[in-house]
Amino acid sequence: MKVPLRVPEVLPGDRPASGPFCPWFHVQAASSEATNRTARRFPAGQRDYFPNGCHRAYDVPMSNSTNAHPRLSSRLAALSLLTIALVFGASAAPATAAAPQRWSHFQSSADYVALGDSFTSGQGAPPYLSGPCLQSKYASYPIITATLSTYKLVANESCSGANTGAVIAQLGQLPDRLKRPGSPVRLVTLTVGGIDAGSNQVVTACTPDPTSATCQAAIVFAGGQLSSPSLGFSLAATYLAVADAMPNAKIVVFTYPHLFNDNVSQLGNAVNSATDTLNTTIKGAAAGVVGVGKNIQVVDVTQEFANHGIGASIPYISFDPSNVTAQANFHPNALGNALGYFRALLNDRVLG
């Protein structure tokens, strides 16, 4: 029987019997009841990865098959090392050291395009590139994916505030060589729908005072948007346009993570519930496009972000309570982009 794994989990710290204090990363086995992810197989004796040479050997339960996946294992190793840089580089080194873009030892062999809103641009992981789109300079999930896979990021048109109409416009900004029948693009990733559903209005109205009438009105508005059939139609039309523009690519449509841990606040619970409704709409719209023969795959990230929302001891979502209007707030941080979005691509075997 295959045993699903969640990989890799960032834990607080662990002091071995001897040697330095080492934060560690490991591959954690999960019961088959706990997740419906496809099983991951690793050779017995796989090591955890520590900074400064710290390590611990362990055995990972395996499926009946004894075949290892060296490409996946090497990506997990690289992801662990990159996560160390994200955790320690931001506080112990200049910003340029936070997430080196050239760590990858993988041979780039296929073109990759990123589209969508602030969850793809990496708004929760400053510093940003110049321009209005708040694209993370080092730690968006497209950069991490290009760093730790065989895909070469040839265009990233994602932009903070993008709705479905803006994503259609992003397609128009791509070079002609990337579009239509001869397109060399083999992977497209996309986050869109949050803005259409009124997320910006809710954040703006509710952050100062979740009990205000303005906040309640914004929530009612967002609820109306989520329940409107037009949202599903707009999403489906967007997915279809992307698939038609780059017909040789797999189009990965991401869901949105829960921003809050459960029961952190009444507002957090309401936002998480609305996110579930939006994700259901996203899945339904994508299924309709798959039904007409398009190569669309939904990657659900809620499991990877589970228990790492605002209020968690190790959050994957940016939030600065001392500056509630900070641009990065309510978006995946560097850890969320690496251990949430990129890890979901690995778990769903999008990257091979």
Where in the chain is CATH 3.40.50.1110? 99-347
Classify the phi-psi angles of 193: left when phi > 0, otherwise alpha if psi is within -120 to 50, otherwise beta. Answer: left
**How big is the chain, counted in residues?**
352
**pLDDT of 227:** 86
What is the reported pTM? 0.74
Q: What DSSP string runs through 244-280?
A: HHSTTSEEEEE----SB-TTS-HHHHHHHHHHHHHHH
| Collapsed DSSP state (helix, strand, coil) of residue 337 | helix
Residue with tokens 């957090």: 268
**pLDDT of 235:** 98
Element containing residue 298 per DSSP (H, E) = strand 296-299
Contact 344, 146 (CB under 8 A): no
| Collapsed DSSP state (helix, strand, coil) of residue 164 | helix
| Collapsed DSSP state (helix, strand, coil) of residue 187 | strand
CATH number of 99-347: 3.40.50.1110
pLDDT digits 0-9 by tens, 213-255: 999 899 889 989 998 999 999 999 999 999 999 999 999 999 9
Buried b (16+ CB within 10 A) or exposed e, 114-146: bbbbbbbbbbbbbebeeeebbbbbbbbbbbbbb
**pLDDT of 195:** 97
**pLDDT of 343:** 96
Buried b (16+ CB within 10 A) or exposed e, 49-69: bbbeebeeeeebebeeeeeee
**pLDDT of 281:** 97
Tell me the β-bridge partners of 250.
187
Residue with tokens 């580089």: 89
**pLDDT of 211:** 86
**pLDDT of 71:** 56
Residue with tokens 């339904």: 284
Annotated catalytic residues are 118, 331
Positions in the chain short of pLDDT 50: 1-68, 88-105
Helix axes 266-290, 229-245, angle to 10 degrees: 50
